Structure 1
Amino acid sequence: MKLYDLAIIGGGVNGCGIARDAAGRGLAVHLCEKGDLGSGTSSASTKLAHGGLRYLETMEFRLVREALAEREALLRIAPHIVRPMRFVLPHRPGLRAWPIIRLGLFVYDSLGGRRTLSGSRSIDLARDDAGASLRSPDGRAFEYSDCWVDDARLVVLNAMDAAERGATIATRTACVAAERTGGVWRVTLDGPQGRSTIRARGLVNAAGPWVPAVAQGSLRANAAADVRLVRGSHIVTPRLFEHDRAYLLQQRDGRVVFAIPYEDDFTLIGTTDVDHDGAPDHVEPSEAEIEYLCEAASDVFRAGVRREDVVWAFSGVRALHAGGDGAAQKASRDYALELEAGEGRPPLLTIYGGKLTTYRRLAEAALDKLAPAMSIPPGRWTGRSPLPGGGVPAAEPLADRLAAHHPYLSEALASRLARTYGSRAWDILDGATSARALGYVFGADLSEREVRYLVAREWAETAEDVLWRRTKLGLRFSAEERETLARFMPGGDV
Structure 2
Amino acid sequence: MTQGSRYDLLVVGGGINGAGIARDAAGRGLSVLLVEQDDLASHTSSSSTKLIHGGLRYLEYKEFGLVRKALQERETLLRAAPHIMWPLRFVMPHMPNLRPAWLIRAGLFLYDHLARRELLPGSRGIDMRRHAAGEPLVDSITRGFVYSDGWVDDARLVVLNALDAFERGATVLTRTKLVGAVRASGEWHARLERPDGSRLEVRAGAIANAAGPWVGDLLHDALGRGAHHSVRLVKGSHIVTRRLFDHDHAYIFQNPDKRIIFAIPYEREFTLIGTTDVEYHGDPADVAITEDETRYLCESINRYFKRKITPADVCWAYSGVRPLLEEERADNPSAVTRDYRLELDANSGEAPLLSVFGGKITTFRKLAEEALDRLSTVMPIAKGAWTAGAPLPGGDMAHAKFEPFAAKFANEHSWLPADLARRYARAYGTRARALIGSAKALSDLGREFAPGLFEQELRYLRDVEWARCAQDVLWRRSKIGLHLAPAILQPVANELDAWFARHPAADTRQRAPSALAS
**TM-score strictly above 0.5:** yes
Q: Is the 8 A contact 1:204 1:348 kept in 2?
A: yes
Name the counterpart of 1:385.
390
- 1:252 pairs with 2:256: yes
- 1:206 pairs with 2:210: yes
Q: Is the 8 A contact 1:125 1:137 kept in 2?
A: no
In 2, Cα distance between equivalents of 1:28 and 1:136: 60
Shift of 1:221: 2.0
1:401 to 398, 408, 417: 408
SS of the residue corresponding to residue 261 of structure 2 reads strand
TM-score relative to the length of structure 1:
0.98
Q: Is the 8 A contact 2:29 2:383 kept in 1?
A: no
Q: Which of 76-85 and 480-489 deviates more?
A: 480-489
Instruction: Return 5+ residue gaps in structure 1 as ranges.
Output: none
1:79 to 66, 82, 87: 82
Name the counterpart of 1:44.
47
Name the counterpart of 1:300.
304
- 1:335 pairs with 2:340: yes
Superposed, 1:313-392 pairs within 5 Å as: 313-324=317-328, 326-392=331-397
- 1:434 pairs with 2:408: no
In 2, Cα distance between equivalents of 1:311 and 1:79: 28
Shift of 1:377: 2.5
Name the counterpart of 2:162.
159
Shift of 1:399: 2.4
- 1:289 pairs with 2:293: yes
Name the counterpart of 2:497.
486
Structure 1 letter corresponding to 2:17: N
- 1:217 pairs with 2:235: no
Residue by residue, what CA displacement relative to the aligned partner does 1:366-385 show, whole Å, maximum 9, x if unpaired? Answer: 11111111011342211111
Q: Is the 8 A contact 1:403 1:414 kept in 2?
A: yes
Shift of 1:491: 8.9
Shift of 1:233: 0.5
In 2, Cα distance between equivalents of 1:492 and 1:452: 9
Shift of 1:481: 2.0
1:234 to 225, 232, 238: 238
Shift of 1:126: 0.2
Moved over 6 A (4+): none
Shift of 1:223: 3.6
Q: Is the 8 A contact 1:461 1:491 kept in 2?
A: no
SS of the residue corresponding to residue 434 of structure 2 reads helix
Shift of 1:116: 1.3
Shift of 1:93: 1.9
Q: Is the 8 A contact 1:124 1:138 kept in 2?
A: no
Shift of 1:483: 2.0
In 2, Cα distance between equivalents of 1:377 and 1:82: 31
SS of the residue corresponding to residue 226 of structure 2 reads coil
Residue by residue, what CA displacement relative to the aligned partner does 1:92-145 show, whole Å, maximum 9, x if unpaired? Answer: 121010000000000000001111100001000000110000113651000000
2:94 to 69, 83, 91: 91
Structure 1 letter corresponding to 2:501: P
Residue by residue, what CA displacement relative to the aligned partner does 1:54-102 show, whole Å, maximum 9, x if unpaired? Answer: 0001111111001001111111110100000000000012101000000
Identity %: 52
SS of the residue corresponding to residue 489 of structure 1 reads helix
TM-score relative to the length of structure 2:
0.93
Are residues 434 and 356 of structure 1, via their aligned partners in 2, closer, same or farther at CA, if it must alter by over 3 Å? same
Instruction: Return 5+ residue gaps in structure 2 as ranges.
Output: 505-518
In 2, Cα distance between equivalents of 1:347 and 1:183: 9
Shift of 1:304: 1.4
SS of the residue corresponding to residue 181 of structure 2 reads strand
- 1:280 pairs with 2:276: no
Name the counterpart of 2:180.
177
Residue by residue, what CA displacement relative to the aligned partner does 1:192-219 show, whole Å, maximum 9, x if unpaired? Answer: 5621111011111100001111111111
Residue by residue, what CA displacement relative to the aligned partner does 1:147-181 show, whole Å, maximum 9, x if unpaired? Answer: 00000000000000000000000000000011001
Q: Is the 8 A contact 2:95 2:141 kept in 1?
A: no
Residue by residue, what CA displacement relative to the aligned partner does 1:220-259 show, whole Å, maximum 9, x if unpaired? Answer: 2234313210000100000000000000000011111000
Structure 1 letter corresponding to 2:111: Y
In 1, Cα distance between equivalents of 2:323 and 2:263: 24
